[in-house]
Structure 1
Amino acid sequence: MTASGGLPNHESVARELRTVREKGLGALRRLKLTELHRVARQIDLTTTDAEPEPAAVEALVRQAVDHLDGGEFQEAAEYTFGLVGGTKFAPSTERRRQAAKAANVQPETFRKGLEKDIIEQTAEAVLALCHDAAMRRAHLAMERRHPAESRLAVAWVERFEAYYRIWTPAYALGADLRAALQTYQEEPADHLPWDPDSEEPFDPVREAQGYARSALHWYARFLLEVRRFMAKHGGLWLLSDTEVENDVRDAVYRVGWHNPINEENDSWLRRTLATRQLEEAELFYRALESTADGEMIHAIWQKFVLDGHEAEVDGDTSKSQIHSTIQACDDYTSKVDADWMKIADWYAPGQAPPRGVDGAGLYERLVSE
């Protein structure tokens, strides 16, 4: 039985998964798994309408288990369905024994409790795979300017809203890092470069450090938005295809990897920003200045930016972590922009998305006036 919107019914999927658990993957060709075969067709694991393909159903079960949260639960699920090497043709009792061992419980306890949870959660993951496939088909239709189901079109807009909540701090982080590097190259002056009549001396080091401090605020906001995305969407990147998803996921990872802030300090930054009133930058800066952890993290970050400037002075930025961070920010924003442009009907096809100004651009404009 198929539910509304073309998705299979959770109960029927769970029932067929129980059959797979009992009979094993080696018996797939002999089993009548109507719903699992239908799902395999929906997510393009098979194109046949004839008898079910065991390889397609096995691939479906494996993908569904991969959607679980990892750890002992997923490991137990892999043993439950015989996805671990050497267990595909194992009897159901042996697979249950190994699954129970992975979950650190007795086989009978596992059978009465966790095994049922595994089957139901795997069924939920099968439904999620169906939904993802439907979303991608809608994306393709919108990209080609064909009609798409309005519910799925709205779902895409909502998903991109989540991506752009990360996009904003990623873009600002890259822009402020660029501005800091450029300002370090300026020469001291008796007046502000944009105001020849001023009596205030211009200190490029202080100005660059200001940009760097602002970049640290945006980095904290980036971390916080990624955490919120993980909480709301489970870290599931759903874009036009898996290659783009991998590129975006890798870019997010590289933003955090190419800097000297460790996970403990990342946590401090997230928590500090989240607990400031309205997450305002001013209060975040005060925390940097008034706490030992804040001062330490700020000093590490300022050295990180200064090292990038010195790499430019030396003429070799190939191994510069700050330049790699900027590139990762650019990769994230450009990949998300490109995917959004495919379905944003109010833009002409092929037109580049508009980009805002950054600190460096505003500075150049101010000085030239």
Structure 2
Amino acid sequence: MGPATRYFDLEQPFKLYRGGSLPHARLAWESWGELDENRSNAVLIFTGLSPGAHAASSPTDREPGWWEDMIGPGRYIDTDRHFVLCVNSLGSCMGSTGPASINPDTGKPWRLTFPDLAIEDIARATRLVVDHLGIERLHALIGPSMGGLTALAWLKQFPESTRKLALISTACSATPMAIAIRSLQREAIVTDRNFRDGNYTEDAWPEVGMRLARKLGMISYRSATEWQQRFARQSQDYFPPTLFGMRFAVESYLETHARKFVGQFDPCSYLYLSRAMDMFDACDSDESLKRMFDRCFSGQSLVLGVKTDILFPLVQQKELAVALEASGNEVEYHELPSVQGHDAFLADIPTFGKPIRKWLNES
């Protein structure tokens, strides 16, 4: 992790939503900009499944972040105006405690002995970092993808804790389509011969399973329209030909991205976070989504989505916007034009950045 990354030790032990606890846990976090005198300008960004806390570069860490062109001085999320905070999710392997971390009781990685992880745990752990910084109420809460689930889990546990709420390419719960895709990803990992019930080693990593899981992810993150525009039926010879080898450019594209991912993310962390996404339902203890918002949020909301997203389809963003409006909130809803599917919020920054900046800076 870069020098901009800081760490916060959670309360000991940290009890989890579905039972069990962690005897020791910490979260990695980064921030940009300065808190104002009243600590009222804080913008909290929750991440998707795989990103870490490094959402943008800074003077102490010049490495570009996962939302580099969105966050910074004069950018769409303007750090000259806002104090921006991003916390790596509990359960991740990007600096925070997760299945890849050492269990202090055994001296070995947690792996499959890690307690059952819920999206609610990610939200509550993050709240402890926010409290540590002396922030009583957020100016804005921004949740893209899995981060939107975490934002809803945050609101349910900490009602009226933010003035503004942005839900981006997300939903109140996973569709059967999304569950099916993630189920196949998990199956690819756990059936890899090197997985060995979580007892894999650096020398025998479940590489095949992780590669296949990443390829399935990449297919679901983008759209058929984009594949057609970028690759069509273009052939290539980048990878050595075999009987059923990679004859098309789209195949080598998936392979290249899959190989990059293999060494960057821990298999068990992937399994736990993926399952947590499938298990989450913002309405599991409320009569309706409207009732949840009635109880938990009153303020300015922004809901963004794209028609080409098959992982979090547009109907789910419409559902969020309708419920927010029905509960009396001011809602700004946009169906944004992009062929880049679910990943559009990462890949098409100007399209997403303009409505975010307008909404964020409105009084």
TM-score, normalization: structure 1?
0.25
More strand by share: 2
More helix by share: 1
Specify which structure has the bigger relative contact order, considering alpha-carbon pairs within 8 angstroms and separated by 6 or more residues. Answer: 2
When Rg is computed on C-alpha atoms for both structures, the one with the higher figure is: 1
